Amino acid sequence: MSTSLKLANKVALITGGTTGIGLGAAQRFVAEGAFVYITGRRQTELDAAVQQLGPNARGIRSDVTSQTDLDQLFATIQAEKGHLDVVFTNAGGGDFAPLGGITEEHYAMTFDRNVKATLFTVQKALPLLRDGSSIILMASTAGSMGDANFSVYSASKAAVRSFARTWTADLKDRKIRVNALSPGPIDTPGLSGLGADETQAEEIKSFLASTVPLGRLGSPDEVAKALVFLASDDSSFVTGTELFVDGGLAQL
């Protein structure tokens, strides 16, 4: 394989890789020469994504909030490839809930998906990660902004951003780089899902686009290009940082 490809001969794991940013990242990683494992909770969507990605991708059904599923995931990678070079903890999500209406279930679900899953995905990946590998954590502009009705999600993403700092210190002797990537509003099925129906989804998208200095939503591929940078040797002196791909939203 040509060494001009930025991820030639690397083995990558992308959790939540069946749609949106995760699928966009997988497409870019494969195009840049990586063999990519993607996870998802639904087999049908997982199979469709792998068919789209081609022979250099493998889908493993896995719920990242389940310790048993994570153990099986990494056992499979160990048996098939024996190592990892890149981990992108993309799986996660959250819903709106105003202060005063936050339930214990909402809190637990949000922190399990974004914080617990990130922690144990990375921790269980460590034996497979080669020295000098790259870990990319999915954070969010919400982690550094004060959006109403989004406090639990925002707090969970602030915790993820903190992981990038502390894990950089934990893993510095192995030269493993840990960075957080924080997208702004990206036109994905997940964003559309915030609306109760198609009309409300379009209203949400229009409003979010109006808050972005560049005046539009981003695309999954624009995020994927930044992820290739963080995954590749192009970012060899970049660690512990937060890269915003947000059209300027959190910068002004």
By annotation, the residues acting in catalysis are: 153
User: Residues 160, 114: contact at Cβ < 8 Å?
Assistant: yes
Distance CA 152, CA 166 (A): 21
Torsion angles phi and psi, residue 197, rounded to 5 = -150, 180
**From the centroid of its chain, how far is CA 77?**
19
Write the Ramachandran bin of 60: left for phi over 0, alpha for psi from -120 to 50, otherwise beta: beta
Task: Calculate the alpha carbon distances from 139 to 5, 17, 224 in Å.
Answer: 27, 16, 14
Structure tokens at 241: 């940082």
**In the chain, where do the E strands start and end?**
11-14, 35-40, 57-61, 84-89, 129-138, 177-183, 242-245
User: Residues 125, 73: contact at Cβ < 8 Å?
Assistant: no
Supply the DSSP symbol for 218. B
User: Residues 228, 6: contact at Cβ < 8 Å?
Assistant: yes
Structure tokens at 155: 């707090």
